[in-house]
Amino acid sequence: MDLSLGLFGNAIVSGLLLGGFYAAVTIGISISFGMLDIANIAHPAFIVLGSYGAWYANSRFGVDPLIASVVLMPAFYLLGAGIYQLYYHAFERRGDASLRGLAFFFGLLFITEVGLILVFGVDYRLVRAPYIGPSLYLGALEFPLRLLVPFLASLAMVGLLWLYLSRSFTGRAILAVAQDAEALRILGADPVRIKRIAFALSIATTSLAGAILIVIQPVEPSIGRDYIGRVFAIAVLGGLGSFAGTVVAAILLGIMESLTATFYGPSWSPAIAFGFLLLALAVKPSGMFGR
């Protein structure tokens, strides 16, 4: 096979797999920002917390990081429920959620970061797992398992969440709650409870997303900041609240970044990717899959 064609193919593959990671880190934002109108800018900080959870279980007890993160999910769910309850009583109930709410989540971001630094220090941490290192080959195409396994885990999580939201009564109420909370109430669903469940779910996803992050790259406490812009951009590009849109946008961004990094150098990739995002939003402001 031609050398540059091989390069191209492998750039597409690793971009696709990277997109799976982006989908995992964005899906929670797709719920909190896309469905609940809560601009949780601390989301990436919770992802890093998820990384440390997986790292701790892995380095201390030798548990697989992805499995550890699934076991830890209920704890993240409870954390999310608690945060929402606080947010609701302090801001949302009084109707001044937008700007002060942003300050609240900014505060959470700092607290989480500083907390992690105090407990674990600023060193980079990494995990061990049998799929970190080897690759599958399909002709000239290389599928590194450290990207492929997280990709599959991410799609499984997004798929299960989507099933829950579209098939269950609570899930459908989550899809409706931002459109008209009082209308939900007169159908017998308490909108505050519905939002709490939804927000808690969005934080539960950070457990697995964090494990995926630390499988893919070493993690230090403030690394989440690198992703704040990207996760919101992907959520908006996909069409707020649309899971299919989020996955497609995540994969597009992954491929775009990977191609740019391969052919022009890694330092260009954020600029090109964001340029594309802005262009796409100028053409279709509601995002690709926005209703």
Partner 1 sequence: MASSLTLSGVTAGYGAVHVLEDVSIAVPAGATVALLGTNGNGKSTLMKCVMGLVRPSAGSIVAEIDGVRHELVGRSTEAIVALGIGFVPEGRRLFPKLTVTENLMLGAFRAAARPEIARNLDFCFETFPRLRERAGQLAGSMSGGEQQMVALARALMSAPRILLIDEPSVGLAPVLVRRTIDKIRELKDSRQLTVLMAEQNFTQAIRIADQGYVIVHGRIAFEGASAEALNNNELIRKFYLGM
* Interface residue list for partner 1 (CB under 8 A): 169, 172-173, 175-176, 179-180, 182-190, 291
Of the pair 34, 254, the CB lying nearest partner 1 is at 34
The nearest distance, CB 286 to partner 1, in angstroms, is 11
Query: How far apart are alpha carbons 12 and 98 in whole angstroms?
Result: 39
Of the pair 172, 225, the CB lying nearest partner 1 is at 172
CB-based burial of residue 62 (10 Å sphere; 0-12 exposed, 13-18 middle, 19+ buried)? exposed
The nearest distance, CB 170 to partner 1, in angstroms, is 9
The nearest distance, CB 236 to partner 1, in angstroms, is 16
In sign, the C-alpha dihedral spanning 142, 50, 236, 200 is: positive
Of the pair 37, 142, the CB lying nearest partner 1 is at 37
The nearest distance, CB 44 to partner 1, in angstroms, is 27
- What DSSP string runs through the chain? --HHHHHHHHHHHHHHHHHHHHHHHHHHHHHHTTTT----TTHHHHHHHHHHHHHHHHHHH---HHHHHHHHHHHHHHHHHHHHHHHHHHTGGGT-HHHHHHHHHHHHHHHHHHHHHHHH-SS-B----TTSS-EEEETTEEEEHHHHHHHHHHHHHHHHHHHHHHHSHHHHHHHHHTT-HHHHHTTT--HHHHHHHHHHHHHHHHHHHHHHHHHHS-B-TTTTHHHHHHHHHHHHHH-TT-HHHHHHHHHHHHHHHHHHHHHH-GGGHHHHHHHHHHHHHHH-TT-SS--
Would you say 25 and 209 are in contact if contact means Cβ atoms under 8 Å apart? yes
Of the pair 138, 186, the CB lying nearest partner 1 is at 186
Reference 44, options 17, 24, 59; nearest CA is 24
Q: Could you tell me which residues are beta bridge partners of residue 149?
A: none
The nearest distance, CB 284 to partner 1, in angstroms, is 16
The nearest distance, CB 93 to partner 1, in angstroms, is 16
Of the pair 17, 189, the CB lying nearest partner 1 is at 189
Of the pair 95, 188, the CB lying nearest partner 1 is at 188
Of the pair 47, 177, the CB lying nearest partner 1 is at 177
Of the pair 126, 176, the CB lying nearest partner 1 is at 176
The nearest distance, CB 52 to partner 1, in angstroms, is 37
The nearest distance, CB 117 to partner 1, in angstroms, is 42
